[in-house]
Chains A and B, each alone.
Chain A
């Protein structure tokens, strides 16, 4: 897998610092997990954070904190059992997503279906898996917020280039997306989105109600 499109550096730094909305954290995290180059970048920011931790002015901790920590350590069981996989061995779901609850696939238009990902917080962002048929035109839309797309299988192309497995596409309100799915097979993407969508065309009007999860 050759990855040629990466998240912008400030997004990676925000990821490393833990500042992203949950949906964005998820999509960037799945990219980073499969991308040694971005893993190095994230680790570099974490090392800078470690240096900041060493140099920050210490603030006195509660006087009984150590005793409380020791008693909490002794009270609770050491390790909890691994959670059961909520989504099962579903071939649509990449390993990194298996701990998430993922909704049923909904066919929203010919050749286009999506599965919402249940996030633990009710932030302003949404995440879903989007499956598009080979050769089809994907969501034709613009939006007011940001949209992060990670290709899991297949490919799509737009004016920014061709995006294959592992590639990351960053869209903001200046981008008018007209992606076309490659002919080699269906395209499965993990998408995080904030802001309101402005759907274009008939397809957009069809899918609009489904995307606002």
Chain B
């Protein structure tokens, strides 16, 4: 009966949504909805939940990528300020909330390092300006496509090994020898796996287009 077939669907969808959650069962929170509430009502409660979830993770990711604890903390706080200010710009069709928040943190880090390179001899703290505005060089003006869902489904076609090696190399910015020992594979395999993953991703995205 069709009804029975449909009854199985939600479970599969839930299972797929929780692929990211490695630490036991987790209530699925609709981050996009919380961001929407910040945008429309300046909802502090919604913002607090976003803050409590994302600020410690931004800090964790920045530390992994080699930032100092002070800088990681500052980027985490400034990112959350920007999440509040730019909440109205968030479009769930173009990116998931975590990807959107990552791009904000990334741009703040770029701006921080450039500012620091410029004022290297001056004694300045790690503090970032509160409102990174559109004029910041890191905000390269890419008009986002509306195909976040298609990109997400393309990414699922990468093997777990392939997405792991891309993440370690490009996002956590770990050197290849470190990746090799972390994964227990030869250095040459790391390099070839990255290359294969990149080519595969390009191919999948071209097919989906």
Residues of chain A at the chain B interface (Cβ within 8 Å): 9-10, 13-14, 16-19, 22, 25-26, 29-30, 32-33, 36-37, 39-62, 65-66, 68-70, 72-73, 75-80, 82-83, 96, 99-100, 119-123
CB-CB under 8 A from B57, the residues of chain A are 53-54, 56, 58
Contact with A along B178-204 (1 / 0, CB 8 A): 000000000000000011001101100
Pairwise interchain contact A121-B114, C-beta atoms closer than 8 A:
yes
Give A176 to B154 CA distance when docked, in angstroms: 37
Question: How many angstroms between the C-alpha atoms of A18 and B206 in the bound complex?
Answer: 23
28 A-B pairs within 8 Å (CB atoms) are namely: A9-B201, A13-B169, A18-B138, A25-B110, A25-B138, A26-B137, A29-B142, A33-B142, A36-B209, A41-B205, A43-B151, A44-B205, A48-B166, A48-B170, A49-B99, A51-B20, A54-B98, A61-B73, A66-B55, A69-B77, A69-B84, A76-B130, A96-B140, A119-B137, A120-B115, A121-B113, A121-B114, A123-B117
**In the complex, B92 has a CB within 8 A of chain A:** no
Roughly how many angstroms separate A61 CA and B86 CA in the complex, as a whole number? 22
Chain B contact residues, CB within 8 Å of chain A: 20-22, 44, 48, 51-52, 54-61, 63-64, 72-73, 76-77, 80-81, 84-85, 94-103, 105-107, 109-110, 113-115, 117-118, 130-131, 133-135, 137-138, 140-145, 147-148, 151-152, 154-155, 163, 166-167, 169-173, 194-195, 198-199, 201-202, 205-206, 209
Docked Cα-Cα span, A60 to B55, in Å, equals 9
Docked CA distance A136–B50 (Å): 57
Across the interface, A66 reaches (CB within 8 A) one of B22, B51, B107, namely: B51
Q: Which 9 A-B pairs have the closest CB atoms?
A: A50-B99, A29-B140, A50-B98, A58-B56, A9-B198, A121-B114, A18-B106, A121-B117, A83-B135
A73–B86 Cα distance when bound, in Å, is 12
